[in-house]
Structure 1
Amino acid sequence: MHATYAEKGLRILGFPCNQFGKQEPGTEAEIKEFAKGYNAEFDLFSKIDVNGDNAHPLWKWMKDQPKGKGTLGK
């Protein structure tokens, strides 16, 4: 998707997190190396928590927004 639509302005932001089925248990360096194996060229940020007391402020904010859809928002 990134390769197809990046030139048209699509930005994909990757936030590694190990809170969903233990999908990303490695270090940030290991996760970035893994993503390279799939030619992932989107922006990949530091590993964060999206749930609980240590949730990243961005995710806390997104979950607090009214009219959110799916698992985000009130």
Structure 2
Amino acid sequence: AGSATSVHVMWNAVTSSTGVKAYQVFRGTEKVRDVPASEHMVDVTRLSPSTTYVFTVRALDTAGRLGPRSREVRATTPAAV
């Protein structure tokens, strides 16, 4: 869901032996948002209408280590009206 220029990206919480500090949300290979560990959804904005995007998420633990990328999720923005 979203709009012609935004999508909602959601993920499940992960665990880390030192605790999760934040999540990093990527559009393709570009990091688009840092999200606090307490949140598991973000609106990604400034997208183009009628375009397919690929998103992944990585967890950052309190020791500064990045976890592996999540599976890829594709989202297509609708046409502008």
Greater Cα radius of gyration, structure 1 or 2: 1
TM-score range, shorter chain: under 0.3
Bigger helix share: 1
Ranked by relative contact order (alpha carbons within 8 Å, sequence separation 6 or more), the top structure is 2
TM-score (norm 1): 0.24
TM-score (norm 2): 0.23
Bigger strand share: 2
